[in-house]
Homo-oligomer: A and B are copies of this chain.
Amino acid sequence: MIGRLNHVAIAVSDMEAAVAVYRDTLGADVSEKVAQPDHGVSTVFINLPNTKIELLEPLGENSPILKFLEKNPSGGIHHVCYEVEDILAARDKLLAQGARVIGDGEPKIGAHGKPVLFLHPKDFLGTLTELEQA
């Protein structure tokens, strides 16, 4: 069912410092910072030859990554995102197997403009797992 690894997301408290790590220290290709007010984060993408790293910085007082950064003040890997061909079919298959989808179960439009769902870390090896329609 799952296809490509679309991205690995790393939450950071200081995007400028994070960009310096990937652009200057690790010598990677780094996108511009984009505010995603609907998601409560700003994003920068590290473009690798085969996938992307998504750097997430909190935006606003209700950012969904604030709690994670309180627990992990230096930042840390926040989630992985796999592509699926049909997100509704994937959701229904997962629910039928007893896996939990976060929220109301309806896909939202993610940072790439495509439908996404988040799966419960307790059902997926302690790993917050996003599915994105390819």
Binding site for B on A (CB under 8 A): 1-5, 8, 10, 12, 18, 21, 24-28, 48-51, 53, 55, 72-77, 80, 82, 93-94, 97, 99, 121-127
Shortest 5 CB-CB contacts between residues of A and residues of B: A1-B27, A74-B126, A75-B126, A76-B126, A75-B125
A125 to B77, CA, bound (A): 8
A97 to B27, CA, bound (A): 12
Contact, CB under 8 Å: A82 / B10: no
Contact, CB under 8 Å: B124 / A21: yes
A contact face: mostly helix, strand, loop, or mixed: loop
Contacts A3-B48, A5-B8, A76-B127 aside, 7 further interface pairs with beta carbons under 8 A come to A3-B49, A4-B48, A4-B50, A10-B126, A21-B125, A72-B126, A77-B127
Residue of B nearest to A17 (CB): B125
Contact, CB under 8 Å: A49 / B8: no
